[in-house]
Amino acid sequence: MSAVAIKGWCPGALRPMQSGDGLVVRIRPRGGRLDAIQAAGIAELSARHGNGLIDLTSRANLQIRGVSEEGYPFLIEGLAGLGLLDADSDTEAQRNVLVTPFWTGADDTQSLAAELERALATASLDLPTKFGFAIDDGSERVLAGASADIRIERDRKGALLVRADGALLGRPVTRSDAVPVALAMAEWFMASGGATNEKRRMAAHLAGGASLPLSLRGDAEPVAQSADPGPGLYLAGAMVGVAFGQMPHQTLSHLAASTQALRMTPWRMVLVEGMHEMPRGADLVTEADDPALRVIACSGAPRCREAHADTRKLATALAPHIPADARLHVSGCAKGCAHSGPADVTLVATHEGFDLIRHGTVRDALVLRGLTGAGIIANPSVLTGGH
């Protein structure tokens, strides 16, 4: 196999990213679902060709970490055997589809996801790599807080709509119109200069003054947005998290052995399909009030060579001090790999200690700089503005 094509951002399986701990190989499960054989296979490939650690990402994907250049071709061969590869890296990059994990066999979710994925594979849209779609067609919108540019949702009467992210209202569609209208919206985004916008995202394009054509606009109001779901039992199965969204390969094997399929979520949890009691395991987060769910941290030192601090050690120490409804994001450098959105408090490690940002992202204005990890642990009220 030819030399590994290493690119900077949005890694895929066919376009891995070099990180401090080796290559990161991202897998995008079709329809947001892995059958048990695929999940067990990923665990085995991670053990054999990676460092045994698997990330759950905020785009509902998995990442096999710590892959060597020598092991990469064998890993790709294994993923191909599991049916987890696209035809090429461009097709893979465009297949950015988030799917609500709460679907049932009787609704449209999986057929919409499959139709959209097929349509994206043959469309020449050349969308920006972070541009994505969400199929959030349940009776509540569970993906509204997750990153997507074009959303397929429902109104209060249960009718489907397609909504551009950033627009309050969507265009009503029939089941057969939903995917063609979503693709037409993506085409309009490109044709109207959306990809030249600094953020290259739909909401920024609309906020910058772009106006959807009449054919893509509508007055359909989507159903209410739900809070991000927590671990627990749902009709579709048991949802469990893993601290910092990363699990050892044994945990994925264990989950795969207990179900027919795993459904991926953007909340760094997986839904174990058909399971009606919470799975147990040392690495699993099964309680909604577990402090581990209040903190987000990237790999950090020593796992990433860009890192200026051990993010997970600090986040673990601070988690009990974070209110249950708040989120702390600890980033090892200004790239903010673990979380691109805002958090109540963001700490960014630099050469000179930690920068602190409130109610913003790693890119927003900081309110304090030069904090030390030990100083924050000794006085965690600094996070919320106390002394």
Q: Rule CB under 6 A: which residues touch ligand SF4?
A: 298-300, 304, 306-307, 331-333, 335-337
Close Cβ partners of 365 (under 8 Å, ≥ 6 residues apart): 357
Query: Which lies closer to ligand SF4 via its Cβ, residue 238 or residue 304?
Result: 304
Q: What is the DSSP string of 285-305?
A: E--TT-GGGGEEE-S-TTT-T
Comparing CB distances to ligand SF4, the nearer of 35 and 306 is 306
Q: Of the candidates 342, 339, 346, 337, which has an alpha carbon nearest to the alpha carbon of residue 300?
A: 337
Q: In this complex, which beta carbon is closest to ligand SF4, that of residue 63 or of residue 94?
A: 63
Q: Least Å distance between CB 94 and ligand SF4?
A: 24
Q: Of 141 and 303, which has the nearer Cβ to ligand SF4? A: 303
Tokens of 387: 């002394």
Residue closest to 67 by CA, chosen among 45, 89, 92, 85 = 45
What does each C-alpha distance from 253 to 15, 39, 45, 46 come to in angstroms? 25, 7, 11, 11
For residue 162, give every residue at least 6 positions away whose Cβ sits within 8 Å of its Cβ, in sequence order, or none.
150, 151, 152, 153, 170, 171, 173, 178, 181, 182, 185, 216
Closer to ligand SF4 by CB, 86 or 310: give it.
310
Q: Kindly give, in sequence order, each residue whose CB lies less than 8 Å from that of residue 259, ignoring residues fewer than 6 positions away.
A: 36, 237, 272, 273, 274, 275
Write down the least CB distance from residue 31 to ligand SF4, Å.
28
Question: Would you list the DSSP string of 348-384?
Answer: EEETTEEEEEEEE-TTSPPSEEEE-HHHHHH-GGGGT
Nearest approach, Cβ of residue 221 and ligand SF4 (Å): 37
- Distance from CA of residue 242 to its chain's centroid? 14
* Residue 302 Cβ vs ligand SF4, minimum distance, rounded to whole Å: 11
CA atoms of 362 and 286, how far apart (whole Å): 29
Residue among 42 and 337 whose Cβ is closer to ligand SF4: 337
- Compute the least distance from the CB of residue 41 to ligand SF4, in Å: 26
Helix (H) or strand (E) holding 219: none
Please, which residue, 82 or 296, has the CB nearer to ligand SF4? 296
- Distance in Å, CB of 16 to ligand SF4, minimum: 15
Q: Containing H/E element for 327?
A: none
Q: Minimum distance from CB of 126 to ligand SF4 (Å)? A: 26
Q: Are 149 and 131 in contact (CB under 8 A)?
A: yes
Q: Which is nearer to ligand SF4, 206 or 338 (CB)?
A: 338
Residue 141 vs 268, nearer CB to ligand SF4:
268
Least distance (Å) from ligand SF4 to the CB of residue 264?
20
Instruction: Name the residue whose CB lies closest to ligand SF4.
Output: 332
**Sign of the dihedral defined by the CA atoms of residues 282, 284, 288, 290, in that order:** positive
CB of 331 to ligand SF4, least distance (A): 5
Q: How far is CA 213 from each of CA 83, 155, 191, 206, 221, rounded to the nearest angstrom?
A: 39, 21, 12, 12, 18
